Structures are given as structure tokens and as C-alpha cells.
Amino acid sequence: MNDAGLRRGLLSWYRRAKRDLPWRRDPTPYRVWVSEIMLQQTTVAAVTPKYEAFLRRFPTVASLASSREDEVLKHWAGLGYYSRARNLRRAALAVVAGHGGRFPSELAPVLALPGVGRYTAGAILSIAFQKPFPLVDGNVIRVFSRLFGLKGRAKDPAFAARMWPLAERLVPKTGPGDWNQALMELGATVCTPDSPSCGACPVTAHCAAFAKGLQDRLPLPEPARAPVPVAWTCLWIERGGKVLLWRRSDKERLLKNLWGLPMAGSVAATPGRLLAKASHSITFHALAVELREAAFEGAPPPEAKWVPRGKIGDYLVSSLWLKLLKGR
Ligand code: SF4
């Protein structure tokens, strides 16, 4: 592999063809960090509008650190994987308490922040601080698998581990942030999972898979995972213009620690008339959710509270509730 030629070809393409994304316009450590956390397991199209609104509400690490968790979760609504938002706030508190509000620029303190792993640390250090740290994500695994002709499954941790030495070898001392973003950009827009656009690829001449006609067969396909069906009956309990909401515990399999509607069996109320149904996917779970009217007498237990009907959107952040309560 001609590393210098590969770098030249990919970087000049990236500078010409990169997408204009909001976090690329002013890549401060805070802006890069927020974008990288949001982009974990979420698409660019879904993140872009949420990112801009989030940055308007929490423009600095100090503003995020001084906010209530519920407020941060509300601005994360619809992005899913809510532990990311909690970790983001906890990490902001750590930056304020331990680093005087300035984002650390060394590997060890960045890795010590909640929710920051090797990939995110590499992204922040290379893009915001221009330090030559590598990164490996799903796009990079796929691109390397094809460029170097490596056989393995992208989601296999042992296969992913083989990519780090390659990423370290290739990351340049000058412009490491552009290099890392160029690799990911190639994976996102050209070297895509299905039918890579090799005709439009700037590094075809360096690609082992292309030379052998294996570009559609690398990396190896993942075994299909059957969705796990989950059936929920949720209760709509309304009294005097207020709705009873329920804080889900950290023992729940899904949507843990988030506000939701009470589930049948969680409060002493019998499910009655069917009001709505919704289907929703969370990771590999396929939820079939029913909403039923119910009456409840007495004081709510500690994990529940009455919320004015017009305010429930501040609490119910998962898009499941938006689907289920549409029109209510
Ligand atoms: Fe990917 Fe095709 Fe480019 Fe190889 S030539 S890196 S398979 S897009």
C-alpha cells in the first residue's frame, strides 16, 4: 500500500467534496464533542436539526453543566439512546469541576470523561486540537476492510481491533482531523455498505477489494438478528386536566430512567377502552404498544406524578410517545 498516495488522493477529494455539516463550520472541542456523541448510532440527517437546536440551548460546556438533567433529555428528544445525553451532562460537569471549564486536550483526561471512548477521544483530539490521534468507527472498518482486502465481520470486536494499528499508521501529523473525517466521509458517501460507488471513488487505485472484484463482499455480512417482539399496554390516566406520568426505573429493559406513561400493572388501575396503538423499534426490539384509558384514585406513588396535559411533551422524550399520543 502506497500510504502517501492514498493520503493525497483521499484528502484532495475530501477538501473538494465534503458535505457542509454544521459541526464542521466551527470545530471547537465542545461542538465536535456534542456532534460525535449525537452521531453515535444516529444518522447525519436525524442529528443535524437536533444539533443546531441543542447548541442554541446549550451554547457552552458551562451552560450544559448548569442545566437540569430533565432539561437536557428534553433537548435530546427523538435521538434515542438517552444514556448518551446523561453522560454528556455528567462530562460537562467534570470539565467544569476538573478542568476549569476548558475542554482537556490530552488523551487520558479526555478518555476519563463519561461516555467518551477511544473513537470519540480520537475525533475530538484530531478535529478540534489537530493532534495526530487515529479513530475507528463503522465507516472506517468498512473502508479499511476493502482497501486492505481484509475478511471479517464489521461488528466483530476482534476484527475492529485489527483496524486500530492501520488507523495509527495512516493518520498524518499535519491535518489529522481532515484525514479522519475524509475516511469517514468516504465510508458514508462513496464506500457505502451496499453497492459502493467505486466509479466515483478517489482511491480506487489503492483498493485491494476493487482490484479483486470483492468490493461487494467485504466486509463479510453480519448474521441476521431476528427482532424480539415486546408487547406493552400503557395507561392514559387523566384527572382535572393533569395526566399521570411514570418514571421508569433503571431496572427496565427499555427507556430506563425516562418518564413514560404508566404501564398496566405499575399502578392500581384497570385498563379500559382502547385509545390508540403504535409500533416502534428500539435497537432489536419490536414494540407493539396499546394505549388504554384507566382511572386511578388516591395519591400517586413516589415514581409517578401528575403533569398538566399541555406539559407532558416536556417529559415524554422518546418518539414512541409522539407516535402513541398523536392527535391527543
Ligand atoms: Fe470502497 Fe470501491 Fe473505493 Fe474500494 S474502490 S475504497 S471498495 S468505493
Evaluate whether residue 49 is within a structural domain. Answer: no
Which of 13, 142, 166, 198 is the best mutation target for the ligand 1 pocket, counting ligand atoms within 8 Å of the beta carbon and taking the most?
Answer: 198
- Beta strand 228-236 with 274-282: parallel, antiparallel or unpaired? unpaired
Evaluate whether residue 272 is within a structural domain. Answer: yes
CA–CA distance from 101 to each of 71, 209, 213 (Å)? 20, 46, 51
Higher per-residue pLDDT: 154 or 78? 154
Q: If you average pLDDT over residues 237-254, what whole number do you get? A: 93
Evaluate whether residue 140 is within a structural domain. Answer: no
What's the rounded Cα separation, in Å, for the pair 218 and 311? 49
pLDDT band at residue 269 under the 50/70/90 scheme: confident
As for how many domains the chain has, the answer is 1
- pLDDT for the residue 183: 98
Atom of ligand 1 nearest to the CA of 208: 4
What's the rounded Cα separation, in Å, for the pair 237 and 239? 7
Mean model confidence pLDDT for the chain = 95
pLDDT band at residue 160 under the 50/70/90 scheme: very high
- pLDDT for the residue 34: 98
pLDDT band at residue 38 under the 50/70/90 scheme: very high
Q: If you average pLDDT over residues 138-164, what whole number do you get? A: 97
Which of 143, 151, 197 is the best mutation target for the ligand 1 pocket, counting ligand atoms within 8 Å of the beta carbon and taking the most?
Answer: 143
CATH number of the domain that 286 lies in?
3.90.79.10
Evaluate whether residue 215 is within a structural domain. Answer: no
Evaluate whether residue 146 is within a structural domain. Answer: no
pLDDT band at residue 297 under the 50/70/90 scheme: confident
- The model carries a pTM of 0.86
52 belongs to the catalytic site: no
DSSP 3-state of 274: strand
One DSSP character per residue, 18-53 reads ----HHHHS--HHHHHHHHHHHTTS-HHHHHHHHHH
- pLDDT for the residue 265: 85
Evaluate whether residue 262 is within a structural domain. Answer: yes
pLDDT digits (tens, 9 = 90+) for 101-127: 999 999 999 999 999 999 999 999 999
Evaluate whether residue 150 is within a structural domain. Answer: no
Atom of ligand 1 nearest to the CA of 198: 2
pLDDT digits (tens, 9 = 90+) for 12-35: 999 999 999 999 999 999 999 999
Structural domain range at position 243: 228-324
The CB of 182 under 6 Å from ligand 1? The reply is no
- pLDDT for the residue 268: 85
Evaluate whether residue 296 is within a structural domain. Answer: yes
Q: Which of 40-44, 66-70, 258-262, 266-270 has the lowest mean pLDDT?
A: 266-270
- pLDDT for the residue 1: 72
What's the rounded Cα separation, in Å, for the pair 88 and 44? 19
